[in-house]
Amino acid sequence: MTLPISSQLTTSIDAPDFVVIDVETACARVSSICQVGIVGFRDGREVLAYETLVDPRDEFSTFNVGIHGITQCDVVGQPTFGDIHAALDRHLSGRITVAHSAFDKGALAAACRLGTLPLIETEWLDSVRVAKQAWPQLASHRLNVLARFLGIEHRHHDALSDARAAGMVIIKAIEHTGIDLQGWMAKPTRAKPKPPVPAPDGPLSGERVVILGEPLDGKLATVIAAAGGRVVRSVGMTTTLLVIARAQPYGRWVEASPLHRRAQELRDAGRPVVIVSEDALRTRFGLAT
């Protein structure tokens, strides 16, 4: 696979209303960016496209290669993240930047920190949040699912195609809901969900549980709390269980999710974190289905 840098620069007349970025990574370290795609939109049409392979100066895991198909050989002679930092800053800085989930934002920040480069100052908009509000009836808001539902041409896990599809999700959400870009940028006023109070005893008493794929106030959290487990927001040093909900949005790529990656890192470091599916948890502890 060989992808040249391709960049269509804009004039002030065609300056994007927003840009969209997608990155692919070489391994579990989010700093290991090996491909970047950026697409800019103005008045519902594409006005900018930029893509490049990146040499992450890191290992390529078979898991990640299986997702995007980019190998170590493909990035030989390609620019490093430091080489493209100025171009990324030129395209994103001072603009509204869309990404499908927080992964790409975190990857950019991690790569900047690793290379001791300035963080890119931009306003972020999560197209997953937009899609969930625009089409709440969908069981999944993964990008490939949305593309099929909305009739968007899409090649999954190709950075430029993913960026283009996420941008079209925003455009179609604006058309569907009547909420303009600034409306979507407004911070949601809904209070963050609170986990249920755990029962004083039960089969999960003493467990600190993170749920991947359901909200803190969802049905699974209620069942876990009733069994004595304490549901917490994120995976940390005191987490004992990561439960993968049936409704999780990552499908068979669940191991690439940030929560799963963090739990695996802690396990590799010797922490007693157990990763278990919802069905296995319910069966093991006799929880209500």
Closest CA to 240 of 265, 275, 202: 275
User: In the prediction, which pLDDT does 173 show?
Assistant: 95
CATH code, 31? 3.30.420.10
The residue out of 129, 150, 185 marking a domain boundary is 185
User: In the prediction, which pLDDT does 2 show?
Assistant: 40
CA distances from 155 to 44, 151, 253 (A): 20, 13, 16
Same domain, 145 and 234: no
The residue out of 154, 185, 216 marking a domain boundary is 185
The amino acid present at 154, given as its one-letter code, is H
Closest CA to 185 of 143, 223, 130: 130
Same domain, 81 and 164: yes
Give 4's pLDDT tier (boundaries 50, 70, 90): very low
Q: Does some domain include residue 259?
A: yes
Q: Does some domain include residue 77?
A: yes
Same domain, 163 and 45: yes
Same domain, 222 and 162: no
Same domain, 78 and 24: yes
Cβ neighbors of 178 (< 8 A, separation 6 or more) are none
Same domain, 21 and 77: yes
Same domain, 161 and 268: no
Q: Does some domain include residue 35?
A: yes
User: In the prediction, which pLDDT does 215 show?
Assistant: 86
How many structural domains comprise the chain?
A: 2
pLDDT for residue 141 is more than 70: yes
| Cα separation, 165 vs 39, whole angstroms | 9
Same domain, 35 and 135: yes
Q: Does some domain include residue 202?
A: no
Same domain, 45 and 116: yes
Percentage of the chain surpassing pLDDT 90? 79
Same domain, 70 and 124: yes
More confident residue, 11 or 221: 221
Q: Does some domain include residue 201?
A: no
Taking only the tens place, the pLDDT of each residue in 27-39 is 999 999 999 999 9
In contact, 53 and 75? CB cutoff 8 Å = yes
Range of the domain at 45: 6-185
pLDDT for residue 11 is more than 50: no
Q: Does some domain include residue 220?
A: yes
Same domain, 238 and 101: no
Taking only the tens place, the pLDDT of each residue in 178-235 is 999 999 998 766 667 889 999 999 999 999 999 998 888 889 999 999 999 999 989 9
Write the DSSP assignment of 175-226 as a string of letters: HHH---HHHHHSPP-SPPP-PPPPPSSSTTTT-EEEEESS-TTSHHHHHHHH
Q: Does some domain include residue 102?
A: yes
Beta bridge partners of 173: none
Same domain, 47 and 175: yes
Q: What mean pLDDT value characterizes the chain?
A: 90
CATH code, 253? 3.40.50.10190
